[in-house]
Amino acid sequence: MERKQKDQDKKCPTATNGIDSEDEDSMGGCPMGQNGKQPKMNGVPDSYREYLQLEKLLKCQTMSSSIAGKPVHDEHLFIITHQAYELWFKQILFEVDSVRESFMMPVLDENQMLKIVNRLSRVVLILKLMVDQFMILESMTPLDFLEFRQHLSSASGFQSLQFRLMENKLGIKEENRVKYNQQHYMKVFKDEESKQILADSITSPPLLTLLEKWLERTPGLTDHEKADFNFWERYKTAVYQWIENDWHTPYMEETDPKQKEILLAEYNKQKDSFESIFTAEKYNVYVERGERRINHKAFQGALMISLYRDEPRFNQPFQMITLLMDIDSLITKWRYNHVMMVQRMIGSKIGTGGSSGYHYLRSTISDRYKVFVDLFNLSTFLIPRQYIPPLTRSMKRTLSTVSTSRLPETDELSDVTDQLDKQTFGSSPRQMTGTSPRTRPVFFT
């Protein structure tokens, strides 16, 4: 009895939860592990520090000035800030990859579109934070930076692999890039793994291409003779009517020769501008010149979404288009802040990577580095609400998330809207911000 009692005393007093002696032995004799702590199960971390791998992370700030024997205080800030940027780049790539995967799906339903909007919104918030992060770095003076700049050797932000991946996966075209020291940007990456990752990012479809294919499938773009609603033909008719009423008629009625000349010039300018998008042949001239990125059909889809954004089915696609423009704008702002900081810190000195520094970076702030420039240019071709072609009953049903089986046979948008007001919403469907929980529309399959 005494020996049995001693054996029990050796065991953990809490060993009453069905763990046999063999299991206890495998855990050091106690199911609570050493020092009374719960043991790791299947390698799961048991603390905040271990989960975030802080022991590794917080040892990554090795100052070159310290290694050289003369530590410079602000180098620590310089390292932390750039490491934070790289972590945010990684998160952006993670979000963009998930959005690209959604666009590659054969069917893109409401749930997927909501996820895309949510993740692009997250990218926008991250980029806003990154833009503002320069203010922290700018608390360092040029003289402070000069104290440790020589320790950077040939290290340069141009060598950021993740930033190049972000550009490629969004859709910056290779021919639009400014050459770095008269050579391709991939030349700065020497290891085979980085080269392969970059090559894969170039050959895989970027977000811009996936967006283009998706926009081509926008409802209402068919040019079939029996189509119930041909958006493009109706849009062209509306444009000519607007130009006639707002420019040509005032020109004809004007008696002052100078004012008449001004009105005629404005009329011709507006007419030429819109006619540049009316046919694929004229539109493609601008594509060949690099002034437009997406094809003619996709442009029509984006324009239709912008004009009919109040329709329930176009609400989330319009949000997505807006977010893509926000991403482009914020990346441009990030580039601009970077350029201004470099000029402030080193003036016109040569960059550490051997580039022309400020002058090279300044050349990247242009439309050639904008991915979704066509979405910005949609505003050029918007027309006043009163001229937007009314939807047919069939098209109204297609763009709605509610049943319209009881709607009268009418082609007038106002009649359809009145019926929706009375039968379903109690208010204008244009005021809706969500979709009906009873339906799940499929977006442009």
**Average of per-residue pLDDT across 121-133:** 97
**Average of per-residue pLDDT across 426-441:** 43
Is the pLDDT reported for residue 53 higher than 50? yes
Is the pLDDT reported for residue 36 higher than 60? no
Q: What was the pLDDT predicted at 3?
A: 52
What distance in Å separates the CA atoms of residue 429 and residue 418, rounded to the nearest whole number?
10
Across the chain, mean pLDDT equals: 82
What distance in Å separates the CA atoms of residue 156 and residue 182, rounded to the nearest whole number?
16
Q: What was the pLDDT predicted at 159?
A: 85
Q: Which of 398, 382, 384 is nearest to 229 (CA)?
A: 398
Q: Which residues contact 290 (CB under 8 A, 6 or more apart)?
A: 175, 176, 368
What distance in Å separates the CA atoms of residue 137 and residue 132, rounded to the nearest whole number?
10
Taking the domains of the chain in order of start, what are their residue ranges?
64-219+293-382, 231-283+388-397
First and final C-alpha spacing in the chain: 77
Is the pLDDT reported for residue 81 higher than 60? yes
Q: Which residues contact 424 (CB under 8 A, 6 or more apart)?
A: 402
Is CATH 1.20.58.480 the classification given to domain 64-219+293-382? Answer: yes
Q: Which of 441, 417, 444 is nearest to 430 (CA)?
A: 417
Q: How far is CA 184 from CA 1, 180, 199, 356, in A?
A: 82, 6, 13, 15
Is the pLDDT reported for residue 407 higher than 90? no
Q: Which residues contact 141 (CB under 8 A, 6 or more apart)?
A: none
Q: What was the pLDDT predicted at 182?
A: 66
Is the pLDDT reported for residue 18 higher than 60? no
CB-CB contact of 398 with 219 (8 Å): yes
What distance in Å separates the CA atoms of residue 438 and residue 157, rounded to the nearest whole number?
50
Predicted structure pTM score: 0.80
pLDDT digits over 187-209, tens only? 888 899 999 999 999 999 999 99
Q: What was the pLDDT predicted at 155?
A: 79
Q: What was the pLDDT predicted at 285?
A: 96
Q: Which of 310, 332, 328, 331 is nearest to 319 (CA)?
A: 310
255 CB-side CA count, 13 A: 0
Residue 53: CB atoms within 10 A of its CB come to 10
Q: What was the pLDDT predicted at 413?
A: 43
Q: Which of 122, 110, 174, 135 is nearest to 326 (CA)?
A: 122
Is the pLDDT reported for residue 326 higher than 50? yes
Question: Tokens 């799940």 sit at which residue?
Answer: 440
**Average of per-residue pLDDT across 4-25:** 46
Handedness of CA 84, 208, 97, 219 (dihedral sign): positive
Q: Which two tokens stand for residue 238?
A: 């509306």
pLDDT digits over 256-289, tens only? 999 999 999 999 999 999 999 999 999 999 999 9
Question: Tokens 């949000």 sit at which residue?
Answer: 319
